[in-house]
């Protein structure tokens, strides 16, 4: 029997209804928080939410009111430097935390260009640097993809297409709807979801409420009965040089912007749990571009890295460390 066009459309809608439901639900629910703008983000799902998007959108929404002029840059390790504490050292009531997961020098340069394009002055900066600062980022990684509003590596269409396709990969949507409906985090969701961070607004600090809760509940179990802290060798080797020739244009762009703005700059080489020294060649290049007096090296073995209690896990140190560093460098 030959179908009429109308009958074909009806059958297509009926048999394709599950797919249509998923497509419509993506645009209605905005599972990755990249379609719509939000006043605040609160708790999010670490493995699927993009920190570049949150940092950029929070800046765009709040900048007209606060006209930010003091910025913290870096990866999630910069979270130890809280804006409310930094404010007392620089006498600015409204600093902004413009970080991203594993942010690299290209991301920092893009954000600085974007800030200047909005007409903001860059009066004060803390830039937290480590061995990841000069690594390349996977452009398809959901948590690392750069915001199309300031990145040269993507455009709006490809940016949104990446997130849209990811909703259907490996049945991510199954985990999403399960958690949405039953409010229970199940072990199988670990591939896609991980409730961990909390984002403040308008300052955009990154907090660790789940870790803090576990430490308060049983600090012994937290620090000695899980695998969050990797083996630490007695004589850790220095990191290999990471700054390549193609990174120099970004370093120059950043340095020129800071010079134009007469920025009060503090570059902090992060105190990593592994106690490996930052590469001396890379450090010399940072000092060349930004001035030796503006680079503070807390890598290697020292008072901060010796104490296990200064860390949430092997990658992130606590705000108590950030506070101690700020007290030293702003004396």
> What DSSP string describes 87-147?
HHHHT-S--EE---TT--HHHHHHHHHHHHHTT----EEEEEE-GGGGS---TT-TTTPPP
User: Cα–chain-centroid distance for residue 315?
Assistant: 13
Residue-level pLDDT at 3: 54
Residue-level pLDDT at 8: 44
d(CA 325, CA 151): 31
d(CA 264, CA 252): 17
Residue-level pLDDT at 81: 98
Tens digit of each residue's pLDDT (9 = 90 or more) over 208-263: 998 999 999 999 999 988 888 888 888 999 999 999 999 999 999 999 999 999 99
d(CA 46, CA 143): 8
Residue-level pLDDT at 16: 52
d(CA 89, CA 74): 19
Residue-level pLDDT at 222: 92
d(CA 236, CA 301): 9
User: Cα–chain-centroid distance for residue 196?
Assistant: 13
d(CA 30, CA 34): 7
Residue spans of the domains in the chain: they are: 1-30, 41-329
Q: In what side-by-side order are the strands of the sheet with 206-207?
A: 42-45, 195-199, 206-207
Could you tell me which residues come within 8 angstroms of residue 51 by beta carbon, excluding any fewer than 6 positions away?
76, 99, 100, 101, 143, 206
Residue-level pLDDT at 46: 53
Q: For residue 247, give the DSSP letter.
A: G
Residue-level pLDDT at 240: 96
**Ranges of residues in the chain whose predicted pLDDT is under 70:** 1-17, 44-47, 195
The helix or strand, by DSSP H or E, that contains position 306, with its residue range, turns out to be: helix 303-306
Find out whether 125 and 266 touch, Cβ atoms under 8 Å. yes
Find out whether 274 and 314 touch, Cβ atoms under 8 Å. yes
Residue-level pLDDT at 5: 47
Residue count of the chain, please give it.
331
The token pair that represents 84 in the structure block: 């409310």
Nearest 10 degrees: Cα torsion 244, 155, 191, 314:
30
- 236-251 burial, b if ≥16 CB within 10 A, otherwise e? beebeebbeeebeebb
């Amino acid at each position: 029997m030959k179908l009429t066009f109308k009958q074909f459309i009806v059958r297509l809608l009926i048999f394709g209804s599950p797919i249509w439901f998923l497509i419509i639900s993506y645009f209605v629910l905005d599972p990755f928080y990249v379609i719509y703008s939000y006043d605040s983000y609160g708790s999010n799902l670490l493995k699927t939410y993009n920190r570049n998007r949150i940092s950029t959108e929070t800046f765009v929404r709040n900048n007209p009111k606060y006209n930010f002029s003091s910025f913290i840059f870096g990866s999630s390790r910069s979270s130890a430097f809280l804006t409310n504490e930094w404010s007392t050292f620089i006498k600015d009531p409204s600093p902004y935390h413009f970080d991203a997961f594993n942010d690299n020098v290209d991301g920092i340069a893009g954000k600085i260009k974007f800030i200047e394009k909005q007409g903001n002055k860059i009066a004060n900066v803390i830039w937290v640097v480590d061995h990841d600062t000069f690594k390349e980022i996977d452009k398809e990684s959901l948590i690392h993809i750069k915001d199309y509003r300031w990145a040269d590596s993507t455009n709006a269409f490809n940016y949104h297409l990446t997130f849209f396709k990811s909703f259907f990969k490996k049945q991510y949507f199954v985990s999403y709807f399960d958690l949405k409906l039953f409010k229970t985090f199940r072990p199988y969701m670990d591939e896609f979801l991980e409730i961990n961070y909390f984002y403040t607004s308008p300052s955009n600090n990154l907090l660790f409420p789940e870790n803090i809760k576990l430490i308060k509940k049983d600090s012994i179990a937290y620090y000695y009965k899980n695998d969050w802290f990797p083996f630490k060798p007695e004589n850790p080797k220095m990191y290999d040089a990471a700054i390549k020739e193609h990174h120099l244009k970004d370093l120059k762009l950043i340095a020129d912007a800071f010079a134009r703005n007469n920025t009060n700059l503090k570059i902090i080489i992060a105190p990593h749990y592994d106690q490996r020294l930052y590469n001396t060649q890379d450090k010399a290049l940072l000092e060349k571009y930004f001035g030796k007096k503006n680079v503070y090296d807390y890598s290697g073995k020292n008072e901060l890295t010796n104490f296990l209690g200064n860390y949430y896990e092997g990658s992130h140190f606590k705000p108590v460390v950030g506070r101690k560093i700020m007290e030293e460098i702003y004396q």
